[in-house]
Amino acid sequence: MYALCHGVTLRPMSIQHNSRLVAIVDDDESVQSALQDLIESDRLSALCFNSAERFLDSGARYEAACLIADIRKPDTSGLELQAKLKADRCRIPIIFITANGDAEMWIRSIHDGAVEFLNKPFDDAVLLDIVHNALERSGNG
């Protein structure tokens, strides 16, 4: 299988069902690339999507053990994506990232089950710790 970023195939990867796969949903290609590099530098697998719709249509929600999603996107917001996943009873741990978050978003996302809400810029080591905690929570740590 191949890692996808920006809607194109980038590099081959070995991904197994229920693996330590991290899905990344962000409309900014530079953020996708940076997050993919960070996740893969820690010997985890990553799939990138530039929209919530592409993520949902891909079926990756059934394979990914963790989701990193921008909370503010031009299409479906991170909170709307979280609500769709919750309605589908998909219990993937979600880590929200944002450059423009507010207290109301933070409260709502955490109340609805998000693992964490990080403001950009954030420390890479902190994000990796949170990802590993989320993987443990999903039984893939």
d(CA 12, CA 5): 12
pTM for the whole structure:
0.85
Q: What is the pLDDT of residue 11?
A: 37
When divided into structural domains, the chain yields a total of: 1
Return per-residue pLDDT of the chain as tens, 141 residues: 334 444 433 333 433 434 789 999 999 999 999 999 999 999 999 999 999 999 999 999 999 999 999 998 878 899 999 999 999 999 899 999 999 888 999 999 999 999 999 999 999 999 999 999 999 887 766
CATH of the domain at 15: 3.40.50.2300
Instruction: Look up the domain containing 10 and give its range.
Output: 2-137
- Measured CA distances, 14 to 1, 11, 27, 45, 47 (Å): 6, 10, 25, 8, 12
